[in-house]
Structure 1
């Protein structure tokens, strides 16, 4: 009996950890920096440990970004857009195939306003979404009102004592603490220390408060370190990409033949070997300075905010697509991208000045003359760096590129004998150039795919994207085999072994992609492809619960009977509507699996990508269950007669997503996703529900227990 009670207690505790209403974000609204007729609205989110709120700068197709809507009023005007501090943590999420940014612990959103009246109230609404490592909550709208009293500022713009106090307080409030410690928690802890000291209670209270402060500080320091680590990894990836691009540029027809000429100039014309080596080193360093300066110029032109916007802007991605396609066509031989000859000649004349300045202009001339070959590579690297949203990205990318480009000149100056071992120039240089053109053309469609997903055009679905890549790499492979020629330089009599092996690799990759046209997952390149559900033709979708697609003229019985069914991941089919899903489950005699999910739910995508594809899970989902997926963030408006005021929350329910979210909270006592409930034909819960858990065997046991309980209930 005792063991039974203990197990019962633990079971209740485990259930309570799953089914609960979460409210991890506390919003505060204030006004600061009132000077003259201007003020700054500050909207602060205090976030519980383990949770995070998404940044404003996330493209469509991912989690719901934080956004603000201010009610129009003649009493004020908005100045600029809403800024956020500290800088968001950013990383690539393979589940959404895009860059995602978020905030932890605390974030301040600031909006500057111009006041037309001294006393007024600014109203508005913010929308946000929050997740932790296991749960995501549905998007929530929070109305707010911020009262402003700027009577003294309007009366006089002079430095009155009160104004000075306000300014001083604003300075103190706006001062950023190095570790970004939560001010609210700090104030609370300080109050505890003072109270304990005054009342003499408590060494224990003092120690507890001090220890809590240390914990908060350490947590904030760890978060800052993690953010810096993500930034460093991103910069290292950009640097390595720059190195690869630099070595590729070295093998271009515009640069490779110049290496022996340039090296011979330094070794023979400098008067001594040591001076020649020194001049070659100066030449290499000059190349690095020139290209890094180019990266810095890009950063200065765009600025940090524009770089962040580029990382998530659909229009930036569309511009990147066009630019890279132009570069790719140039590499394929349609035309050459060159700089004005007058400018190039003017720089070249400066190289005759001699000395260090002359060597610098020699390096500058190399950069200009070789632009037709290096331009597309540099352009792609800069586009990649800018799309990462990192402030130092362009400069770091150009550092890697220039280091790889400069090293050969320095090495051959140090060891002239190596020049004899260099392969002679020939048609193989043009082959490398054309090969890079094919690669750039294929990669360009990734940027177009980002735009297509963001605006839901449905033009570049997964099978269309794959078809384009298959054609590009097939032509690439035949080109390497000598079956296709793009210029006179492509005439080859004998295919070398390296070229043959590369051709085999490219054609193998092409064949690997072909099954993807029929729905194969292609895990090796899934991060580059549009999501699986965007694929229209998928063999895995043609059967469901024993109904074949050949019935009813190619349309499954499920699809014909129920209009609200749609294709879920991995060839599954699911109902979008709860009542229709239960009706169909009753018809076919199967239990229903209610999947409370969201289009923007990160953890839902993780479950679908990691757990659902496993054979033991997928088999049960297809054969033993009717899947009902209820998206809590669906913005489709309900018909007027379906709208209602929730008895549970008191909020007005006007969207489909709000309806399912309200149902989840009121019936099952939780508001987090993913959340899986197995029910019978009357909607009765059969087994304890499951939340986020990547343990495949746990999910198999969950599904199997539901099947067994359903059979017993019958």
Structure 2
């Protein structure tokens, strides 16, 4: 389900425009242990929905929190004893970075023990580098913190200080003096809904209706209600009640997950995106798939069905409820695999228990509708196709789909552990093999245990075979190292483009011409007489990659970026150090000092200074006089909106 998350903000003046994101606020505290030993305590207050990452993270994911102490002062004034200890953290699979990450919610503290060498020392200064993220954006920041050893037990905030002339000069060069803030109107952010998962659940229920476990039950159950009741109105009411109970039963199955969600909002995502649980999902779905192929049958204990069937003889409302429960139990061998996919898919998404309830509601509604509709219009029963071999064909087709879905979960585990088993091309290759297998089955070239003799190919079978063949052909470019390898229709299912068997040579997105230095980029824009697009991005910014692979890759957008703009990509998390003469101290508005030592420090500071925004991705369109050509924008997955935004910038540049 495509979720549209547009963050577009309009400014009327620099002072009242964007509010700089400050999701983490730092303070310090000193605990005196002896005359020469102290605990330096770093305390972080973290805004709701934001994560501050641990000091200990695997490579390739978020940037770890890092505390830098003055190396000279450590030699002559004090020494650190051991490593900084962390407060209790959370470790879970992060679907954004596709690996297990450790982070903090709400509050965090880090404790570094030090031993004084020079007893006259009264203050210790350090700098913290950190990354914080929510579901849509990340910020990369650093902050200088001071510890007052003579005032142990008292909390201190960031240091207030002054900077030297060189630092002031280099700081002033970061000021771009952007104009044109008053020309653009604010756009609204579109809200997310759970309608998509409800529709998917409903479609899953419709598919379940076409399986051998459910389809034959429709005419039998409707006939029972219409013939056993004393009058047609009562039969109709009983059938409607039966359908309502089916819906209620499937909704009730999701309620325990709401209880878990209320205890810990993160627990559903934690348990469902764990690497080993993804492997378990792979095994279960593969097991279900071979059951659909007919090699064995999965059923709940027969005693359960017998007990429910006996309870249904009670009569009245209670009897009808147990009849519905009996249907849910005896049809499990067909509905179970579909519900398993729905469960796994819901719990690995943002919606958690609520999305699961919506999916279950859609599934239950689709199962319940036929019993009510056919009771209302019994003549429709004559139009139903007779049971036969086509029902087993539906099961086998579902088996192929189930097996393809199983490899998605194995891929999740592979990405987290970096096993390299399912690189993008290998994953797509497996799907191609499964697609060819399904195509051969539909054409009657291969058979499974419960298949009836195939005398001729029906129109429906041939039509579906054509669709499957077309899908296989669509997958083939995904095996190549070409511009066609980005299978946009399947975005999010195969491993990401960089997780590839091929080595990627260009360090610019999609092979576009881009500059990674502001001065060089502006000079090129003037020479080519083109507008500028500032692309504030990050190596560890996953939404930046989504924009590049899913939006920039659209032909019309790619052409505009390639032909009409000079792209200046500024990586705010680049840890490559600047030349010594280019390093300086930046005095922030709150009186604290930020040491500009790396390329990322410089570009992150430039972004916050000029746009009062420190999230990525973040895009700005400018002319050569640093005047805005359109409103600034952030993560915009709607390609049409992004294209219109770019074109409007070109039009304003040419005026």
State the TM-score, normalizing by the size of structure 2: 0.63
Aligned twin of 1:273 = 232
In the TM superposition, 1:282-297 aligns within 5 A as 282-297=241-256
Residues 1:508 and 2:470 are matched in the alignment? yes
Residues 1:453 and 2:415 are matched in the alignment? yes
Q: Among 495, 500, 505, which residue is 1:535 paired with?
A: 500
Q: Among 284, 287, 303, which residue is 1:323 paired with?
A: 284
Aligned twin of 2:207 = 248
Listed one character per residue, the Cα deviations across residues 297-347 of structure 1 (whole Å, up to 9, x for unaligned) are 343356533124356544544443333333223222232221112232222
- CA RMSD between the two structures: 5.7
Residues 1:352 and 2:349 are matched in the alignment? no
C-alpha separation in 1, matches of 2:310 and 2:412: 45
Residues 1:340 and 2:280 are matched in the alignment? no
C-alpha separation in 1, matches of 2:144 and 2:418: 27
In the TM superposition, 1:115-154 aligns within 5 A as 127-129=130-132, 137-138=139-140, 140=142
> What stretches of structure 1 of length at least 5 have no aligned partner?
1-13, 32-40, 47-51, 84-91, 100-106, 114-122, 151-218, 542-564, 586-592, 678-685, 705-714
Aligned twin of 1:376 = 337
User: What SS does structure 1 have at the residue aligned with 2:288?
Assistant: helix
Relative distance call for 1:480 and 1:411 in structure 2 (3 A) is same
Residues 1:422 and 2:362 are matched in the alignment? no
Relative distance call for 1:516 and 1:354 in structure 2 (3 A) is same
Relative distance call for 1:126 and 1:289 in structure 2 (3 A) is farther
Aligned twin of 1:363 = 324
Residues 1:597 and 2:559 are matched in the alignment? no
* Higher fraction of helix: 1
8 Å CA contact 2:443, 2:465 repeated in 1: yes
State the TM-score, normalizing by the size of structure 1: 0.59
Range moving further from structure 2, 417-426 or 22-31: 22-31
User: What SS does structure 2 have at the residue aligned with 1:380?
Assistant: helix
Of structures 1 and 2, the one with the larger relative CO (CA 8 A, separation 6+) is: 2
Aligned twin of 1:470 = 432
Residues 1:664 and 2:603 are matched in the alignment? yes
Shift of 1:140: 4.5
Q: Among 566, 570, 573, which residue is 2:510 paired with?
A: 570
C-alpha separation in 1, matches of 2:417 and 2:625: 40
8 Å CA contact 2:574, 2:599 repeated in 1: no
User: What SS does structure 1 have at the residue aligned with 2:106?
Assistant: strand
Listed one character per residue, the Cα deviations across residues 23-44 of structure 1 (whole Å, up to 9, x for unaligned) are 531754699xxxxxxxxx9954
User: What SS does structure 1 have at the residue aligned with 2:598?
Assistant: helix
C-alpha separation in 2, matches of 1:393 and 1:145: 47
Aligned twin of 1:163 = none
8 Å CA contact 1:263, 1:413 repeated in 2: yes
Relative distance call for 1:326 and 1:488 in structure 2 (3 A) is closer
Aligned twin of 1:524 = 489
Shift of 1:136: 6.5
In the TM superposition, 1:602-617 aligns within 5 A as 604-605=544-545, 608-609=548-549, 610-611=551-552, 614=555
> What stretches of structure 2 of length at least 5 have no aligned partner?
1-10, 29-41, 68-79, 111-125, 155-185, 525-532, 588-592, 635-641
Relative distance call for 1:148 and 1:247 in structure 2 (3 A) is farther
Q: How many pairs were matched up?
A: 525
Shift of 1:605: 3.5
C-alpha separation in 1, matches of 2:225 and 2:144: 69
Q: Among 633, 640, 651, which residue is 2:573 paired with?
A: 633
Shift of 1:253: 0.3
8 Å CA contact 1:126, 1:142 repeated in 2: no
Aligned twin of 2:38 = none
C-alpha separation in 2, matches of 1:621 and 1:464: 31
Shift of 1:426: 0.6
Shift of 1:243: 1.0
Shift of 1:62: 10
C-alpha separation in 2, matches of 1:318 and 1:703: 53
Residues 1:491 and 2:494 are matched in the alignment? no
Aligned twin of 2:268 = 307
